[in-house]
């Protein structure tokens, strides 16, 4: 887990590092793309903080502060308090990543429906819901005393498992549905805007669908083992489960859970832009362009460059909701 968390920490750090703007990049950025970039940024921040919690906890436990003997309480009280605090930290920020993963799928769907993004709602969901779930789940474990670091009974286990696994299941169910709807609407939008559906349009649609599939696949790889572990835990209450199977699932969880940060970096951003990474102090004032300035200039730039060629010209029509005005390059969703 320590090695996996360290690698993923590096990947998440790469994603949040500032980058200088590409002067030769002439792709027009829409307001919705800016919002989706913000979502990916906050997802990376949450991944980064979750990995940092795993790294710190692993380092402290390796140094000998793990509360091995809970019954006799032979270790200092610090070990139990640290166990509770570190568990809360890690669980909170991982639930935050679940919500931001859902927010990304929702925002892309709203974009295709030609609806405005909801940044205030996204932040409210991402920071408040995990706080409520984390508090409820962990209080059931540690209240009224911090002198324990493991689950003792079903009474303590159930609230904790519900607060942890319910968000995972919700994302696993809703995100594929949202991405499926988005892919269908994207196909209609491309065909409507270009009045044709050639190999080029198929390539665009395929690139969009592949990205949605990879995002969903990464989430399933990282968190499906946790669902399996929860099912095995419930089965253990009624019948015997081979220890090797349980330990194998735990080992797999220890590897893939922290790897979410690195895998998210690969599917959302990739490593193609590493040459543009720069320290914040080295950015020239002329290079710093705020999102607000980009949004203000977008409408005028789009009108001058494309006129009414694309879907935005159909705002008053009775046709199905389409994408916002785009230039439909096949790297549109790759650069979100």
- The residue that leads in pLDDT, 5 or 318, is 5
At residue 71 the predicted structure's pLDDT band, cuts being 50, 70 and 90, is very low
At residue 58 the predicted structure's pLDDT band, cuts being 50, 70 and 90, is confident
Domain definitions of the chain by residue range: 2-17+29-314
pLDDT for residue 161 is more than 50: yes
Q: What CATH class has 2-17+29-314?
A: mainly alpha
* Interior/surface letters 14-43, b for 16+ CB within 10 angstroms, e for the rest: bbeeeeeeeeeeeebbbbbbbbbbbbbebb
Lowest mean pLDDT among 6-20, 171-185, 277-291: 277-291
Q: Token match 């491309």: residue?
A: 190
Query: Residue 200 in 3-state DSSP?
Result: helix
Average confidence (pLDDT) over 50-59: 90
Lowest mean pLDDT among 91-100, 131-140, 218-227, 319-328: 319-328
Question: What pLDDT is attached to residue 41?
Answer: 92
Structure tokens at 117: 């993004």
Q: Which of 44, 28, 23, 102 is nearest to 270 (CA)?
A: 44
Q: Which of 216, 225, 227 is nearest to 102 (CA)?
A: 216
At residue 260 the predicted structure's pLDDT band, cuts being 50, 70 and 90, is very high
| Percentage of the chain modeled with pLDDT above 90 | 34
pTM of the model: 0.77
Question: What pLDDT is attached to residue 181?
Answer: 94
In angstroms, the CA 188 to CA 197 distance is 10
């Amino acid at each position: 887990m320590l090695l996996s968390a360290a690698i993923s920490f590096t990947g998440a750090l790469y994603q949040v590092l500032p980058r200088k703007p590409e002067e030769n990049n002439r792709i027009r950025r829409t307001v919705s793309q800016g919002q989706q970039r913000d979502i990916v940024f906050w997802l990376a921040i949450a991944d980064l903080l979750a990995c940092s919690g795993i790294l710190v906890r692993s380092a402290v436990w390796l140094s000998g502060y793990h509360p091995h003997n809970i019954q006799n309480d032979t270790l200092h009280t610090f070990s139990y308090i640290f166990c509770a605090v570190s568990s809360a930290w890690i669980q909170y920020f991982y639930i935050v990543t679940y919500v931001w993963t859902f927010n990304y799928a929702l925002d892309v769907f709203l974009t295709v429906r030609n609806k405005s993004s909801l940044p205030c709602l996204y932040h409210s969901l991402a920071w408040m819901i995990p706080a409520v779930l984390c508090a409820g789940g962990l209080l059931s474990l540690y209240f009224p005393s911090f002198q324990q670091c493991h689950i003792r009974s079903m009474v303590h286990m159930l609230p904790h498992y519900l607060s942890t696994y319910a968000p995972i299941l919700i994302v696993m169910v809703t995100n594929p549905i949202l991405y499926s709807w988005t892919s269908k609407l994207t196909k209609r939008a491309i065909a409507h805007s270009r009045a044709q559906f050639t190999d080029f349009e198929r390539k665009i649609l395929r690139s969009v669908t592949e990205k949605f599939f990879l995002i969903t696949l990464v989430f399933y790889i990282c968190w499906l083992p946790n669902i399996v572990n929860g099912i095995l835990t419930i089965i253990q209450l009624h019948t015997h489960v081979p220890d090797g199977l349980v330990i194998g699932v735990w080992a797999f969880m220890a590897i893939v859970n922290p790897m979410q940060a690195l895998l998210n970096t690969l599917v959302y951003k990739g490593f193609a832009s590493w040459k543009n990474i720069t320290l914040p102090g080295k950015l020239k004032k002329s290079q710093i362009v705020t999102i607000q300035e980009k949004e203000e200039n977008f409408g005028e730039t789009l009108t001058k460059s494309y006129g009414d060629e694309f879907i935005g010209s159909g705002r008053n029509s009775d046709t199905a909701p389409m994408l916002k005005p785009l230039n439909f390059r096949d790297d549109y969703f790759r650069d979100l």
